[in-house]
Amino acid sequence: MSLIAITHSLSPKLPACELTHLKRIPINMDKAQAEHEHYLQALKLAGYEVIEYTFNEGYPDCVFVEDTAIVVDELAVITNPGAASRRGETINMATALAKYRMLAHINAPATLDGGDVLRVGRKFFVGITTRTNRAGFESLKGILEPHDYQVYPIEVTGSLHLKSAVTALDSQTVIAAANWFDTPQIEAHCRLIAVAEGEEAAANVLRLGETIYMAEGYPRTRAIIEEAGYKVETIDIRELQKAESGLTCSSLLFTR
């Protein structure tokens, strides 16, 4: 089996991206491009075959491919993003993913962003947010449960997506900004490690092999994760964070 990373180039329209929780700040596109290239290099170093598409460059948020699909061994679920401006992105992504998986679809009135879908082992936690509605959760539950996955809803109040607030360190453990979402459902199934106070944005991490990648700028949370026994590396994504990005946002990772 080989490791596949589906990614997308930056749109020249990125400065006009969708924003929910942040004020619009000018994005330096040269710096954003350099950050993206460092991200792709980290994927390659971790053994992924990186496939970078350019077909959605007309959409400002196209680099954030995580929101367009959920990929498991059995199939790929094509989402229906909560922001109407992003729904066209899924058409080309469906064509791309059909090379690797059978497809299922989230259909209106259900909405679902991949950034609201956290996988921990065979459990999926789905954030109920401004982008993902209850019908989106129910649709994903109906698609995944026949394949022996468990799917649970999580109310999110403090961030754009669930995975802005909590991500997996391994198949049993999460790192979380616990004041941004309703924690009991996740705590019932996972070991929860809290980020340092004031470093809530550090909750979005990306596990590549045995290494946890986190955004630069959160030294106290890095120390917490390292003290828990994990190897940690950082990537500078300060420009992309102006678009409400986290490290998980810019790739779809799966095995061939």
- Catalytic residue annotation: 161, 249
Parallel, antiparallel or unpaired: strands 103-105 and 76-78: parallel
Number of other residues whose CB lies within 10 A of the CB of residue 97: 23
- CA nearest neighbour of 230 among 157, 170, 152, 177: 170
Residue with tokens 């340092």: 196
Report the alpha-carbon angle 191-206-124, nearest 5.
50
- CA nearest neighbour of 200 among 229, 163, 234, 173: 163
Parallel, antiparallel or unpaired: strands 123-128 and 117-120: antiparallel
d(CA 245, CA 68): 14
CA distances from 143 to 76, 125, 147, 149 (A): 10, 14, 8, 9
Task: Return the structure tokens found at 53.
Answer: 């598409």
Say which amino acid occupies 104.
A
Q: Residue 248, SS3?
A: helix
- Residues 66, 114: contact at Cβ < 8 Å? yes
Residue 179 backbone dihedrals phi, psi, to 5 degrees? -85, 0
Say which amino acid occupies 113.
D
